[in-house]
A and B are shown apart, each in its own frame.
Chain A
Amino acid sequence: MCSAVVPLSPPPATNALAAGRGVPARPLIGTLDSNRTQVVMETLLQRIVETGSAIAIIDITGVPTVDTMVAQHLMKTVAAARLMGTECMISGIRPQIAQTMVHLGVALGDVTTKATLAGAFATALHKMRLAITDVKA
């Protein structure tokens, strides 16, 4: 059994650009799992430019603790990506992290957050009018 990414509905004419290149657009996923948040953030933004991803998912499942500095870097990255024209989602927010963020008064604003990477990926695909479906091999 394998899966493929297929459009939910006929893509608008302008998306023919991406399809024409033979590679369907997909959300970019960046994994944050170290304390070198600043470097990872800069790399993520660079990857966004290189891949032309209008949606990026920052997965923090592997982050042990979210202190003020990590939270601030996260928010700055989301803000920078938005300035560049990319929407970010944050996935992998465990209950403890959610509590910490609320205590720290971290304002997530209108950033979409999901508990799991799979959930964020599905949401991103939906926004891009794509879906994962099973294809008989």
Chain B
Amino acid sequence: MDRIPILKMGDLLLVTIQVDMHDRLAMTLQDDLTDRIVTARARGVLIDISGLEMVDSFIGRMLANIASMSRVLDAETVVVGMRPAVAITLVELGLTLNGVRTALNVDKGMELLNSLGGHQG
């Protein structure tokens, strides 16, 4: 796969990462999302990482970058579906993902986006 698909749902963008992402794919996603937030005038971004068996510092930085960039573009990002093993490892790794909002699943993520952005999701 050479790009991760981004779905548009109203003024929300939904990304589901299901592959073991290599670095270039992650960078492409970052760029694609930035473009899409602007062209879709999105108010929220939901990134589903329930398919990720591992999040290392590179992917963690990617998520933090996406959260920062979306905020600059007046959109909020919520990362959902982090697996327990991944969370435990990130804590051990010392990666706090400050600035990245998280929720347990897509439902809760949408709730959070609704309460933040004031848009109708």
Q: Is the CB of A84 within 8 A of B92?
A: no
With A14-B111, A52-B104 known as contacts, the answer to whether A76 contacts B84 (CB < 8 A) is no
Task: Please tell me if the beta carbons of A42 and B84 are within 8 angstroms of each other in the complex.
Answer: yes
Q: Is the CB of B104 within 8 A of A48?
A: yes
Q: Is A84's CB under 8 angstroms from B87's CB? A: yes
Q: Are B104 and A83 in contact (CB under 8 A)?
A: no
- In the complex, whether B2 has a CB less than 8 A from a CB of chain A is no
Q: For residue A81, which residues in chain B have a CB less than 8 angstroms away from its CB?
A: 87
Is A54 part of the contact surface with B, judged by Cβ < 8 Å?
yes
User: Are A42 and B88 in contact, CB atoms less than 8 angstroms apart?
Assistant: yes
- Cα distance A45–B110 in the bound complex, in angstroms: 21
B84 touches A52 (CB 8 A): no
Confirm or deny: B82 has a beta carbon within 8 angstroms of a beta carbon on chain A.
yes
The total of Cβ contacts below 8 Å across the A-B interface reads 60
B114 at the interface (CB under 8 A from A): yes
B interface secondary structure, majority: helix
The answer to whether the Cβ of B103 comes within 8 Å of any Cβ in the partner chain is: yes
**B107 in contact with A52 (CB, 8 Å):** yes
Nearest chain A CB to B43 CB, angstrom units: 16
Q: Chain A residues with Cβ under 8 A from B82's Cβ?
A: 83-85
CA–CA, A14 and B82, complex, Å: 22
- A49 near B91: Cβ-Cβ < 8 Å: no
Q: How many residues belonging to A are interface residues under a CB distance threshold of 8 Å? A: 22
* Most chain B Cβ neighbours within 10 Å, of A14, A52, A79, A81: A14
* Chain B positions 71-114 with a Cβ under 8 Å from a chain A Cβ: 80, 82-85, 87-88, 90-92, 96-97, 102-105, 107-111, 114
Beta-carbon contact of A76 and B107 below 8 Å: no
Contact B104 A86 (CB under 8 A): yes
Q: Is the CB of B114 within 8 A of A84?
A: no
Nearest-neighbour CB distance to chain A for B45, whole angstroms, equals 15
A103 to B34, CA, bound (A): 47
A91-135 interface (Cβ within 8 A of B)? none
Quick one: which of A37-96 are within 8 Å of B by CB? 41-42, 45-46, 48-49, 52-54, 76, 79-86
Closest A-B pairs by Cβ, 5 of them: A45-B84, A80-B87, A85-B102, A85-B103, A83-B87
Q: Which B residues are closer than 8 A to A by beta carbons?
A: 80, 82-85, 87-88, 90-92, 96-97, 102-105, 107-111, 114-115
User: Could you pull out 9 A-B pairs where Cβ atoms are within 8 angstroms?
Assistant: A12-B115, A15-B111, A45-B88, A48-B84, A52-B107, A83-B90, A84-B84, A85-B103, A85-B109
